[in-house]
């Protein structure tokens, strides 16, 4: 990259106040006290990077109980998110959501859309003009399942692991970046907890993104050193939730805009159900057809009269 | 697999078309279409018209990504190489793959964190709000304990069955042995008597002969119990019935007991009592033939 771009979510260091009144006071910047003779170059490399990511999490009306619990689980996992009320309206949901995000001062959004009480679509978007992705969510297991026995600090920063096929193609790279920004908790966020005791797994299998969340259990005595040989005895316990994302489309704008990517393998669940129904629907017609066919066949190939047919007739 | 449609038209404006429905009547790889399960039906051939705007994607990526010199500590990402192609439908293999990915990732991350010198492990006295409530963890614990108990009970039942079978066999053997021993003893005494008879009751110095029956060394020993046959709760110490073992008297006592004991016999005194009023056990023999379904 030739020039540095100004990004909406990075905060630059506090600009020096061009304070003409108190001219003698040295300017205070994040990098220390500076005399007003020196001009601090904002574009210098020693800028402190602050992750000011804020996610808005909402859902559509008529959402299923299971998906609502999934949404609540996600809310509890991400302390830098804000949960908002249900969003109505199919038609103008793009604009509504963009406005909502702006209102709350966020810069990304996770929108859980449940259609027909059966299918869950997840929209991941960077607002105001970032790309957005629509996923179909499968295989949902929430944290409330008793088989998922792990537990971790609420708001502790996770370690994000990605499988290496995220770097294979452009759309995966874009998705990886969005996931890092949305699911990674900002450092020094006021609701985040200090230690790292859980790990997120994002891996691409069969063109789906699978998500897992594990608690890390490693024997240790001090807070900053693993016990000797402890890395070998590390165990992971699953905390949940679990879900599987199937990317449908990637748009250039937030909740709309030009389509940048379409998943060629995707069939909507409506089409799947329609297929099944169609398979079953033709049963009677097929039976009737088969009967007539058999009749025609019998007519055209008459059986020879059996020589023993009259044998037992008196 | 990856994305196989490198030959598709790259267009900047979206031209969306639905996938052909006739394509996958025969082709579609069937897995469960139940939305709870992981498998959903996929086209086996990619639709020809889907859009893939690589340049646009990379542009957007550049737009949103953070500056390059952002320290690792902000991202906390680890990339793990996937060793082998995992079959989606094999649940166990899939989960194992995820687990190994997570394990490998944490190892690398912890090494980095340790080298940075940042505290990253939770001390044992750090109590803070957890993502699952204590009551929920209590339920989890209860379930785990219940499962463990079920397994243990099944084990114990199995062991008890085995040991019962074993002990039955052992007891059968013991009884057989005892019977055999008894027979042998009797036989040996008989033999000895015969021998004695035959040798004409010669003197009694023939210890060797006499000792034959007792060759196994077991002389009759009185049992060690001081007061045999006394139950612990017997305050008279077994002396109560010592002189009472008279047969005649026992018989008399028994017959008297049956006539007058515990309130005595009913005789023909009372036949209709509260208990017998509704007792129809003697009646209705064969009265249930006929239509049972008819309401009575």
CA pair distance A114, B85, nearest whole angstrom = 32
Q: Which of B62, B104, B130 sits opposite A151 (nearest CB)?
A: B130
Instruction: Determine whether the interchain pair B50/A210 forms a contact, defined as Cβ–Cβ distance below 8 Å.
Output: no
Long-range contacts of B143-152 (CB under 8 A, 24+ apart): B143/A146, B144/A149
A26, A19 in Cβ contact below 8 A?
no
Instruction: Determine whether the interchain pair A205/B122 forms a contact, defined as Cβ–Cβ distance below 8 Å.
Output: no
Q: So what's the pLDDT on residue A238? A: 93
Residues of B whose CB is below 8 A from A161 = 77-80, 101-102, 104-106
Instruction: Determine whether the interchain pair A234/B107 forms a contact, defined as Cβ–Cβ distance below 8 Å.
Output: yes
What one-character-per-residue DSSP string does chain A give? Answer: --SPPP-SSB-PPPPPP--SSS-SSPEEETTEEE-TTSPPPTT-TTPPP-B---EEEEEBSS--HHHHHHHHHHHHH-TTEEE---B--STTHHHHHHHHHHHHT-SEEEEEEEETTTEEEEEEEETTTS-EEEEEEEEEE-TT-TT-----BTTBPPEEEEEGGGGSSHHHHHHHHHHHHHHSPPTT-TT-BSS--EEEEEEEETTEEEEEEEEEE--BSSSSSBPTTGGGG-EEEE---EEEEEEEEEEEETTEEEEEEE-TT---HHHHHHHHHHHHHTHHHHHHHHHHHHHHHHHHSPPPPPTTTTTT--
Q: Which one of A107, A136, A163 would you mutate to disrupt binding with B, by most B Cβ within 10 Å of its Cβ?
A: A163
Q: Which of A5, A49, A162 sits opposite B70 (nearest CB)?
A: A49
- Residue A75's contacts (CB-CB under 8 Å, 6 or more residues apart) are A57, A81, A83
Instruction: Determine whether the interchain pair B28/A267 forms a contact, defined as Cβ–Cβ distance below 8 Å.
Output: yes
* Closest Cα in chain B to A220: B121
Size of interface A-B (CB pairs under 8 A): 277
CA pair distance A8, A108, nearest whole angstrom = 11
Residues of A whose CB is below 8 A from B75 = 160, 180, 184
A75, A36 in Cβ contact below 8 A?
no
Residues of B whose CB is below 8 A from A184 = 74-77
Position of tokens 């602050």? A50
Q: Which of A186, A267, A273 sits opposite B42 (nearest CB)?
A: A267
- Residue A105's contacts (CB-CB under 8 Å, 6 or more residues apart) are A54
Q: Which of B3, B82, B140 sits opposite A146 (nearest CB)?
A: B140
* Closest Cα in chain B to A260: B53
Residues of A whose CB is below 8 A from B40 = 136, 138, 246, 267, 269, 272
B101, A201 in Cβ contact below 8 A?
yes
Instruction: Determine whether the interchain pair B1/A146 forms a contact, defined as Cβ–Cβ distance below 8 Å.
Output: no
What one-character-per-residue DSSP string does B129-172 give? Answer: -BSS-HHHHHHHHHHHHHHHHHHHHHHHHHHHHHHHHHHHHHHH
Instruction: Determine whether the interchain pair A244/B94 forms a contact, defined as Cβ–Cβ distance below 8 Å.
Output: no
* Closest Cα in chain B to A50: B74
Instruction: Determine whether the interchain pair B24/A267 forms a contact, defined as Cβ–Cβ distance below 8 Å.
Output: yes
Residues of A whose CB is below 8 A from B114 = 224-226
In order of A253, B23, B54, B295, the CA distances from B8 in angstroms are 22, 18, 11, 77
Q: Which one of A120, A172, A201 would you mutate to disrupt binding with B, by most B Cβ within 10 Å of its Cβ?
A: A201
Both tokens of residue A187? 């450092």
Instruction: Determine whether the interchain pair B128/A171 forms a contact, defined as Cβ–Cβ distance below 8 Å.
Output: no
CA pair distance B198, A209, nearest whole angstrom = 103
Residues of B whose CB is below 8 A from A155 = 129
CA pair distance B50, B52, nearest whole angstrom = 7
Low-confidence ranges of chain A (pLDDT < 70): 1-47, 89, 91
Instruction: Determine whether the interchain pair A184/B73 forms a contact, defined as Cβ–Cβ distance below 8 Å.
Output: no
B3 at A interface, C-beta within 8 A: yes
Position of tokens 């790292």? A196
Instruction: Determine whether the interchain pair B80/A119 forms a contact, defined as Cβ–Cβ distance below 8 Å.
Output: no
Q: What is the DSSP letter of B38?
A: S
In order of A23, A28, A29, A42, the CA distances from A18 in angstroms are 9, 11, 12, 14
Q: How far is A128 from chain B (nearest CA, A)?
A: 11
Q: What is the DSSP letter of B263?
A: G
Residues of B whose CB is below 8 A from A77 = 131
pTM of the full predicted structure?
A: 0.63
Q: How far is B7 from chain A (nearest CA, A)?
A: 13
Q: So what's the pLDDT on residue A25? A: 61
Mapped onto helix, strand or coil, the DSSP state of residue B179 is helix
* pLDDT, tens digit only, all 296 positions of chain B: 444 444 344 443 333 333 333 333 333 333 333 333 444 566 666 666 778 888 888 888 888 888 888 888 888 888 888 877 777 788 898 899 899 999 889 888 888 888 888 888 888 888 888 889 999 999 999 999 999 999 999 999 999 999 999 999 999 999 999 999 999 999 999 999 999 888 877 655 545 555 454 555 555 666 566 666 667 777 777 677 666 667 888 889 989 988 888 887 777 777 788 887 887 777 767 666 767 677 76
Residue B80, Cβ density class (10 Å: 0-12 exposed, 13-18 middle, ≥19 buried): buried
Instruction: Determine whether the interchain pair A146/B139 forms a contact, defined as Cβ–Cβ distance below 8 Å.
Output: yes
Q: Which of A199, A205, A262 sits opposite B105 (nearest CB)?
A: A199
Residues of B whose CB is below 8 A from A76 = 131
B125 at A interface, C-beta within 8 A: no
The residues in B 203-242 lying below 8 A from A, measured between CB atoms, are: none
B111 at A interface, C-beta within 8 A: yes
Q: A55-59 and A108-115 as β-strands: parallel, antiparallel, unpaired?
A: parallel
Please choose, from the candidates B36, B51, B19, the residue with its C-alpha nearest in 3D space to the C-alpha of residue A268.
B19
B65 at A interface, C-beta within 8 A: yes
Residue A175 phi/psi, 5-degree rounding, is -65, -40
B136 at A interface, C-beta within 8 A: yes
Helix (H) or strand (E) holding B64: helix B54-64
Instruction: Determine whether the interchain pair B117/A226 forms a contact, defined as Cβ–Cβ distance below 8 Å.
Output: no
Residue B63 phi/psi, 5-degree rounding, is -60, -50
């Amino acid at each position: 990259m030739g020039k540095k771009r100004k990004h909406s979510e990075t905060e630059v260091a506090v600009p020096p106040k061009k304070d003409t009144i108190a001219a003698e006071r040295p300017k205070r910047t994040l990098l220390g006290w500076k005399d007003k003779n020196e001009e601090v170059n904002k574009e210098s490399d020693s800028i402190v990077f602050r992750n000011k990511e804020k996610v808005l999490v909402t859902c559509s009306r008529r959402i299923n109980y299971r998906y609502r619990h999934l949404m609540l689980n996600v809310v509890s996992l991400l302390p830098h998110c804000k949960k908002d009320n249900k969003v109505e309206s199919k038609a103008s949901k793009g604009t509504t959501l963009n406005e909502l995000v702006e209102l709350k001062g966020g810069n990304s959004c996770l929108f859980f859309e449940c259609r027909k009480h059966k299918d869950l679509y997840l929209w991941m978007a960077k607002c105001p003009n970032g790309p957005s992705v629509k996923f179909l969510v499968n295989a949902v297991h929430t944290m409330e399942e008793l088989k998922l026995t792990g537990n971790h600090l609420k708001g502790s920063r996770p370690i994000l692991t990605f499988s290496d096929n995220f770097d294979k193609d452009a759309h995966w790279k874009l998705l990886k970046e969005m996931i890092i920004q949305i699911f990674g908790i900002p450092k020094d966020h006021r609701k985040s907890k200090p230690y790292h005791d859980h790990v997120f797994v994002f891996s691409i299998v069969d063109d789906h993104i699978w998500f897992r969340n594990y608690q890390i259990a490693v024997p240790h005595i001090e807070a900053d050193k693993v016990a000797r040989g402890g890395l070998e005895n590390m165990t992971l316990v699953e905390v949940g939730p679990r879900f599987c994302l199937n990317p449908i489309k990637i748009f250039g704008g937030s909740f709309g805009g030009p389509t940048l990517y379409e998943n060629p393998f995707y069939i909507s669940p409506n089409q799947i159900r329609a297929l099944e129904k169609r398979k079953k629907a033709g049963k009677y017609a097929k039976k009737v057809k088969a009967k007539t066919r058999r009749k025609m066949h019998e007519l055209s190939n008459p059986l020879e009269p059996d020589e023993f047919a009259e044998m037992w007739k008196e | 697999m990856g994305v196989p449609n490198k030959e598709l038209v790259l267009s900047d404006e979206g031209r969306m078309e639905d996938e052909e429905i006739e394509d996958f009547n025969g082709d579609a790889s069937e897995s469960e279409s139940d939305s709870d399960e992981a498998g959903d039906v996929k086209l086996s051939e990619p639709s020809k018209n889907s859009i893939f705007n690589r340049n646009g994607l990379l542009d957007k990526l550049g737009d949103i990504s953070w500056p390059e010199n952002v320290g690792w500590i902000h991202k906390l990402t680890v990339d793990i190489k996937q060793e082998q192609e995992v079959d989606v439908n094999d649940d166990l293999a899939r989960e194992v793959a995820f687990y190994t990915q997570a394990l490998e990732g944490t190892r690398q991350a912890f090494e980095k964190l340790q080298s940075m010198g940042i505290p990253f492990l939770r001390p044992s006295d750090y109590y803070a709000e957890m993502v699952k409530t204590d009551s929920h963890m209590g339920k989890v614990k209860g379930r785990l304990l219940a499962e463990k108990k079920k397994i243990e009970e099944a084990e114990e039942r199995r062991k008890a069955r085995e040991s019962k079978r074993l002990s039955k066999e052992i007891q059968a053997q013991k009884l057989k042995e005892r019977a055999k021993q008894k027979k042998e003893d009797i036989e040996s005494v008989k033999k000895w008597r015969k021998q004695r008879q035959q040798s004409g009751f010669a003197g009694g110095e023939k210890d060797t002969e006499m000792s034959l029956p007792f060759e196994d060394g077991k002389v009759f020993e009185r049992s060690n119990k001081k007061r045999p046959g006394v139950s612990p709760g017997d305050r008279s110490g077994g002396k109560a019935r010592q002189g009472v073992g008279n047969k005649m008297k026992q018989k008399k006592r028994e017959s008297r007991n049956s006539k007058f004991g515990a309130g005595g016999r009913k005789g023909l005194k009372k036949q209709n009592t509260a208990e017998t009023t509704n007792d129809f056990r003697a009646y209705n023999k064969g009265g249930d033939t006929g239509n049972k379904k008819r309401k009575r």
